[in-house]
Structure 1
Amino acid sequence: MKLLAFDTSTDTLSVALSDGDRVWQHTGPGAAQASRTLIPSILDLLAQAGLKLAELDALVFGRGPGSFTGLRTACSVAQGLALGAKLPVLPLDTLLAVAEEARFLRQPDADALQFTALLDARMDEMYVQRFAWAHGTWATLDTCTLRRPEDFVPPTSDTLLAGNVFTAYAGRLPAWPAAQCFDVLPTASAMLRLAPALLAAGHAVDAAAALPLYVRDKVALTAEERARVKAQAALDSPS
């Protein structure tokens, strides 16, 4: 399949294009900055591959959770490109892409693995969701929730953790073996690996139905709330 995938849910922009045999990739500044660079990056990869947008089978984008501005950018670009080229769109969960990237790095030939994906949600919280890989297929074990780092408890002693929280919340997460922690982001290349099975299962939508996934409705703290967070951080930090 000829697929274009992109993710702007974090501080890193990830774009990947496949013609069915080869993959072209681009990485750059994400979140708010992606609004300026996403479309030029897409055009550059298409030029490298010698493909036109209308020749693709589908567009894949990270629907969230993640950066509010980043998700709106990805959604609007996916809708615009898909409408213009008359392509189906696959909105893909960013935490599933995190789990897939970690699986691919750790043991791509494994028959069975379980990952808890953890993405920094800012505002002193993390997005948390569990996934299981078995016989070449991913299963979602629970819904995405928001947790403070100190409130997170891995479900079992052999749980594999994947995401971008290990540095940001060092000392606040439970102590966990380094061999079971994978510092990864949701990448467009992971989305390309996930897409064929999801498209075959009928998860593609029309451009107008390609919407972001917001887990948190509130995207900003009041001045009073920011002061409380700062005071709590001072209490939590070692003296």
Structure 2
Amino acid sequence: MPILLALDASSSACSAALLHRQSGRDDQLISRFELTPREHTRRLLPMVDEVLAEAGVTPAELDAVAYGHGPGSFTGLRIAAGVAQGLAFGLGRPLIGISTLETLALGAYRRHGFQYLLTVLDARMGELYAAAWQYGEAAGGGMIARMEESLLAPERLLVPEGGESWVGVGSGWHLKEAMPEQTRAAVQQCLPDCEAAAEDMVLLAADAFAAGKGCAAHEAQPVYLRDQVAWKKNR
């Protein structure tokens, strides 16, 4: 059964997780998570070493490497992509990029049971990264997108049609007052301090791996959603 490693540095949090799917036995899931702003480079590889050591797994036993491909912090995404690419290339294993917005949604479902989730991150420059998700029996037991990932101004964020009870997840909800009245009314419960975690990401990576998804290490690219990453001051 597959052994997968996932790592993420897309926000102020840094995390790594190892999942060993075992036939006839409970899955082994080991993770590390720390809020370490500006210390991702220093902490990420030691976290990888820690989860491998605790699981008693060598790097050569990994079947794939996953990473948070974004959206998120430009610097953090490049750090995670670089570390994941180095590991996957050295081991000759496929690399699996996982959405940080979907990871946030799965984390909220796993910890709180919420099924309709609007994941929103503060993209700075007066914009948000946003997506909507549904999880549960109605979604076939997995996560489906109800709104594609996008970059938009807070005042343009609308809740997908339907009478479901939506929950807001992610740092973008600190900007709730700038969102349309319809959105504020539809999303009455928010978890603005939630961060993407590798322990949720590795579960999404396992599904992707089972579906035959993944790419060669040199083909992996962060997903910024914003073509222009530099701030231009008005002159």
Same fold (TM over 0.5): yes
1:130 aligned partner: 132
1:83 aligned partner: 89
2:208 aligned partner: 198
- Aligned-pair Cα RMSD in Å: 2.2
SS for the counterpart of 1:143 is strand
Q: How far apart in 1 are the matches of 2:120 and 2:156?
A: 13
Q: Percent identity?
A: 34
Aligned residue-pair number:
220
1:220 aligned partner: 230
1:210 aligned partner: 220
- Note if contact 2:131-2:150 (Cα within 8 Å) is conserved in structure 1: yes
How far residue 31 of structure 1 moved from its aligned partner, in angstroms, is 6.2
1:179-218 Cα distance to aligned partner (Å, 9 max, x none): 6323422211111221222111121111111211120122
User: What amino acid sits opposite 1:222 in the alignment?
Assistant: K
Q: How far apart in 2 are the matches of 1:200 and 1:73?
A: 26
1:24-67 Cα distance to aligned partner (Å, 9 max, x none): 22122456421222112211221222211111121110101111
Q: Which deviates more from structure 2 when the two are superposed, residues 21-30 or residues 49-58?
A: 21-30
2:24 aligned partner: none
Q: How far apart in 1 are the matches of 2:217 and 2:205?
A: 16
TM-score by length of 2: 0.84
User: What amino acid sits opposite 1:87 in the alignment?
Assistant: R
Q: How far apart in 2 are the matches of 1:159 and 1:19?
A: 33
- Note if contact 1:8-1:31 (Cα within 8 Å) is conserved in structure 2: no
How far residue 219 of structure 1 moved from its aligned partner, in angstroms, is 2.0
2:151 aligned partner: 146
Q: Which deviates more from structure 2 when the two are superposed, residues 139-148 or residues 194-203?
A: 139-148
- Note if contact 2:105-2:119 (Cα within 8 Å) is conserved in structure 1: yes
Matched, 1:180 2:189: yes
2:121 aligned partner: 119
SS for the counterpart of 2:132 is strand
How far residue 74 of structure 1 moved from its aligned partner, in angstroms, is 0.9
1:55 aligned partner: 61
- Note if contact 2:19-2:203 (Cα within 8 Å) is conserved in structure 1: no
1:67 aligned partner: 73
- Note if contact 2:133-2:145 (Cα within 8 Å) is conserved in structure 1: yes
How far residue 161 of structure 1 moved from its aligned partner, in angstroms, is 2.0
How far residue 172 of structure 1 moved from its aligned partner, in angstroms, is 2.4
- Note if contact 1:58-1:88 (Cα within 8 Å) is conserved in structure 2: yes
User: What amino acid sits opposite 1:182 in the alignment?
Assistant: L
1:159 aligned partner: 166
Q: How far apart in 1 are the matches of 2:226 and 2:153?
A: 13
Change (3 A) 1:101 1:182: same
Q: Which deviates more from structure 2 when the two are superposed, residues 15-24 or residues 69-78?
A: 15-24
Q: How far apart in 1 are the matches of 2:123 and 2:48?
A: 26
- Note if contact 1:31-1:69 (Cα within 8 Å) is conserved in structure 2: no
TM-score by length of 1: 0.82
1:217-238 Cα distance to aligned partner (Å, 9 max, x none): 222323338xxxxxxxxxxxxx
SS for the counterpart of 1:76 is helix
Q: How far apart in 2 are the matches of 1:76 and 1:200?
A: 24
Q: How far apart in 1 are the matches of 2:166 and 2:124?
A: 23
- Note if contact 1:72-1:212 (Cα within 8 Å) is conserved in structure 2: yes
